Amino acid sequence: MADRLIITNGDSAVARMREAGLEADFLPWRDMLHAGPVPRAPSLEELSNIRARYLAEEFAPDPADVDRGFAERDAAIRNHAKYDRVELWFEHDLYDQLQLIHSRSRRLRRRRASWVTRHSSTGSTAWRSARRRW
């Protein structure tokens, strides 16, 4: 197990991070929250069930694959405290910002965590980091 967990916007971002040689456990946030229902739910698992049903019905991936992916994500979120560091890597667009809000609402509690974002709207493709106390 790595000493840090990087949560980011999907599998392509994880692939690029691995190619760059980053050493971490990666958690791709595989949910396009701008489409479909995102009701207030008492638990991450209950919301994941609602989202998985919608995604399977609307976009026809294998429901078992969606369920398995969300269960793995939910377990990683529940067990995030085992990492020395948790880093959130998201871009400025709506897709990523909704995932950032959703991941933060899942009670990631750390004394210190890193939030990394890419400012492509300003013409810069550099990643910038800000340390936040949550």
pLDDT for residue 19: 96
Residue pLDDT, tens place only, 38-73: 998 888 889 999 999 999 899 878 889 999 999 998
Say if residues 96 and 119 touch (Cβ distance below 8 Å): no
In sequence order, the 6+-apart residues with CB closer than 8 A to the CB of 100 are 88, 90, 115
**Of 8-12, 14-18, 96-100, the least confident:** 96-100
- What angle (nearest 5°) sits at the alpha carbon of residue 55, between those of residues 60 and 5? 120
Closest by alpha carbon to 75, among 97, 53, 45? 45
Number of domains in the chain: 1
Q: Which two tokens stand for residue 47?
A: 């919301």
- How would you class 52 by CB atoms within 10 Å of its CB: exposed for 0-12, middle for 13-18, buried for 19 or more? buried
Average pLDDT of every residue of the chain: 81
Q: Position of tokens 């026809």?
A: 60
Structural domain for 101, as ranges: 4-132
